[in-house]
Chains A and B, each alone.
Chain A
Amino acid sequence: MTIHNQNDDEAQGPGETTNQGVDAGEYVLGTLDGRQRRLLDSQIHFDPDLLRDVAFWEEHLGRLALRLPPETPPPAAWTGIKNRLGLGQYRPKLAIWRGFALAASCAALVFASMLYMYVGTSPGTATESGDQPRRTAYASLIRDETYGVGWLITAGQDKRQLKVMALGHYQLPGSKSLELWLITPERVSGQSLGLIPARGEVTLPLPDNEDLVLSDRATFAISIEPEGGSPVGSPTGQTIFIAPVSADVG
């Protein structure tokens, strides 16, 4: 993929058929404007040539940083990192889910995961039988601040269904699907909850399995999979979002 730059004609030498290498260089330098950077951000993980070009520039330009004399950071920096990551405390082993692939080489992408708990005052969802409205017991908002897209995931107290609502329209490459996973301490490899839409909403059944219980120890993840979902029952593509599940307030 090549970004057209008004100065390409001038900068592009005879015989050059692409400026992708230069685009990647500007991406790494940080001189692309916001629109151009977002365009490359959206393509970089689906274009091996672009990824290779970006790696080329990161490798070579990065060596310039080694010309600077090292500076010892203040001790508080490490303390802050440990606290933010909860190191030394219990946490689910999420190593295999750490592939925030879309964030690789992407400074502009900022994730914000927020947790909402609708306690008794939540209007909930009225049932056809006229029962009392069910309260929403769990909810997670997965949101990409840069692109303004995300998903709101909610579940009733019965934990039988999840409602997944796309907020905005996620730009998904062709022949790809988005798959939602539930990760628990007992099932760190994750369990597919089904495909979710790039826009609109879907209701997904929750598995009736004691090691796949929604709780504050569980985590949602979204990965990009081949059309129709992972063929092997575990993620095969890039994990683009991870968000915690709220505590049970039921």
Chain B
Amino acid sequence: MKPRTRLAAQPEQLVEWLAGIARGNERDFQQLYRATAPHLYALLLRILKSEERAEDALQDAYVKIWQKAETYSAERGAPLTWLLSVARYRALDMLRRNRPEVALPEEPDLADVVLADTTSAGPYEDNMTLQAMDAIEACLADLPEEQRQALLMAYYEGLTHAELAKRMDAPLGTVKSWVRRGLLKLRESLTERGQR
């Protein structure tokens, strides 16, 4: 796992660009793309496991971002995580429609890899984002192993309950319970930490 990398822009700048995009400002759109596309593309590559499909999904995501920029508001969360959500929903949509085409490599250690890097903080420009990342990772680390693995594989791989059950070699009902219990505890932990 590489060290954390520098975010390309402060949240305030992203918000400003989104406001410009809502007014039809193409320059702001291009700047937003340059600053954020590498983050979205990395996530799409992770989920879709195909450069071609990730590029398609990236295009779809930014077309949607151009169309719905004005719907972004502070209540929707940090601008970068909102952008990432737009891209991830698109990837999930593609997966659900074309699942048979998607190979699912065995990567059972993904969650361990992700959480093992929590101490290698890099030069993040945004301390609030860094603190929030630490919060979600700390809360995840407190979950029972099965719940943590289920949530992380669902997030990074876009797996359904049935796919999780197969990958984790567990009954479907049990996996569903792991996911819901994990989310419940995660929400409680994040709320206790003031991450609302």
- The answer to whether A and B come from one shared complex is yes
Which residues of A are in contact with B by a Cβ distance under 8 Å? 5-8, 10-13, 16, 19, 21-22, 25-26, 28-31, 33-34, 51-52, 55-74, 76-78, 80-81, 84-85, 87-88, 93-96, 98-101, 103-108, 110
Interface centre among A13, A51, A70 (most CB of B within 10 A): A70
Q: Distance in Å from the Cβ of A40 to the closest Cβ of chain B? A: 12
Residues B133 and A67 in contact, CB atoms below 8 Å apart = yes
B71, A100: Cβ atoms closer than 8 Å: yes
Q: Which residues of the partner chain B approach A77 to less than 8 Å between Cβ atoms?
A: 37, 41, 55, 58-59
CB-nearest residue of chain B to A103: B68
Contact of A7 among B37, B39, B76, B176 (CB under 8 A): B176
Q: Let me know if B81 and A58 touch, CB within 8 A.
A: yes
The digit string for B62-99, where 1 denotes a CB below 8 A from any CB of A, is: 11101111110001111011101100111111001000
User: Given the complex of chains A and B, what is the CA–CA distance between A55 and B180 in angstroms?
Assistant: 17
Q: Provided the pairs A61-B155, A77-B59 are in contact, do residues A110 and B93 lie with their beta carbons within 8 angstroms?
A: yes
On whether the beta carbons of A64 and B136 are closer than 8 Å, the reply is yes
Q: B48 in the interface, Cβ–Cβ < 8 Å?
A: no
Contact A73 to B29, CB < 8 A, known contacts A65-B39, A100-B67, A107-B90: no
Residues of B within 8 A of A19 (CB): 180, 184
Write the chain A residue with the least CB distance to B83: A62
Task: Given the known inter-chain contacts A64-B152, A66-B80, please indicate yes or no for A98 contacting B184, CB distance below 8 A.
Answer: no
Known: A25-B187, A60-B135. 7 other contacts (CB 8 A): A10-B181, A21-B184, A22-B184, A31-B160, A31-B179, A77-B37, A106-B89
Q: Which residues from chain A contact B63 at a C-beta distance below 8 Å? A: 81, 84-85
Partner of A13, one of B69, B88, B184: B184
Q: Which of B24-52 contact A (CB under 8 A)?
A: 24, 26, 29-30, 33, 37-39, 41-43, 45-46, 51
Return the CB mask of B181-196 against A: 1 if under 8 Å, else 0: 1011011001000011
Q: Compute how far the CA of A64 lies from the CA of B114 in the bound complex, rounded to whole angstroms.
A: 8
Give min CB distance, A36 to chain B, whole Å: 11
- Size of chain B's interface in residues, with CB distance under 8 A? 82
Interface centre among B54, B85, B92, B173 (most CB of A within 10 A): B85
Per DSSP, chain B at the interface is helix
User: Is A62 touching B84 in the complex (CB atoms < 8 A)?
Assistant: yes
Chosen A-B contacts, 28 in total, with CB atoms closer than 8 Å, are A8-B180, A11-B176, A11-B180, A21-B183, A22-B183, A25-B187, A29-B179, A30-B96, A31-B161, A31-B179, A60-B136, A62-B80, A65-B39, A65-B42, A66-B7, A66-B80, A66-B84, A67-B4, A71-B38, A73-B58, A77-B55, A78-B37, A81-B66, A88-B26, A98-B66, A105-B85, A107-B88, A110-B93
The answer to whether residues A59 and B62 also contact, given A29-B154, A67-B133 and a CB cut-off of 8 A, is no
CB of B39 within 8 A of CB of A66, answer yes
Q: Are A26 and B82 in contact (CB under 8 A)?
A: no
CB of A6 within 8 A of CB of B81, answer: no
Q: Do residues A29 and B45 form an inter-chain contact, with CB atoms below 8 A? A: no
Contacts of A25 in B (CB 8 A): 183, 186-187
Q: Is the CB of A61 within 8 A of B136?
A: yes
B82 touches A58 (CB 8 A): yes
